[in-house]
Amino acid sequence: MTISNPETEDRLRCGFKVFNYFMVGLWRLGLGGWVNLSPRVGGQILVITHKGRNSSKQYRTPVNYAVVNDEVYCTAGFGSKADWYRNILANPQVELWMPDGWWVGTAEDASSHPQAKEILRQVLIASGFVSRLFDLDPQTMRPEELEELLKIYRIVRLRPSAARTGKDGPGDLAWIWPLSTFLLLFMVLFKKKRR
């Protein structure tokens, strides 16, 4: 992200934080598969559950990701300032909500990977509209342009290691759908009887 105005960057970071609550909400409602229905437009998105570096509080952050050479990568577009990035450096044990399931795993900085430029390109391609939002065309970017972005962006390798099940995972609020459907149906039927 090459934003020269710090005030604009702060506004964007706040905007993404608000949007992140919405995205996590969709995953909690069991709509993670729908979120990833059109990756060319909306991007490929997973949710990282991580612990705060100071608070040890649990946080959830949606990120765009790409699978490159059978490994999962994402990028911290705001670089080393991103809270989630600093959290995973301090506490690399994470949980991953992915379209294919819920995983325990680890996260590590891979910014110095020998193929960092190509990995960054693939993650930017997999980010859908977000790249275009920042006027980036990863399909046509020259290696020098990717090298410049790597001065800011951080690449993170995510290593899912074991499947996870239980409460507090993706879909933990899916019970809302049948309840709201029942209440809506009840209201419609009750209104018809009152006529």
CATH number at residue 148: 2.30.110.10
pLDDT value for 5:
56
**In whole angstroms, how far apart are CA 195 and each of 8, 115, 182, 186, 190?**
55, 69, 20, 15, 9
Assigned domain for 176 exists? no
| 191 lies in some domain | no
Q: 123 is in which domain, residue-wise?
A: 6-170
Is residue 177 included in any domain, yes or no? no
Number of domains in the chain: 1
**Within a domain: residue 84?**
yes
Question: Hunting for tokens 């992915």 — which residue is that?
Answer: 98
Instruction: Rounding to the nearest 10 degrees, give the CA dihedral for residues 6, 54, 21, 9.
Output: 10
Mean pLDDT of 168-192: 80
pLDDT of residue 46: 95
Task: State the pLDDT at residue 94.
Answer: 98
Side-chain half-sphere CA neighbours of 189 within 13 A: 6
Per-residue pLDDT band at 7 (split at 50, 70, 90): low
* Residue 137 lies inside a defined structural domain of this protein: yes
Flag whether 119 is in a domain. yes
Average pLDDT over residues 14-36: 83
pLDDT for residue 3 is more than 60: no
Flag the least confident range among 33-37, 116-120, 143-147: 33-37
Look over the chain and give the mean of its residue pLDDT values, rounded to a whole number: 86
Domain annotation covers residue 192: no
Q: Examine residue 32 and state whether it is found in any structural domain, yes or no.
A: yes
The phi-psi region of residue 168 (left if phi > 0; otherwise alpha if psi is between -120 and 50; otherwise beta) is left
DSSP 21: H
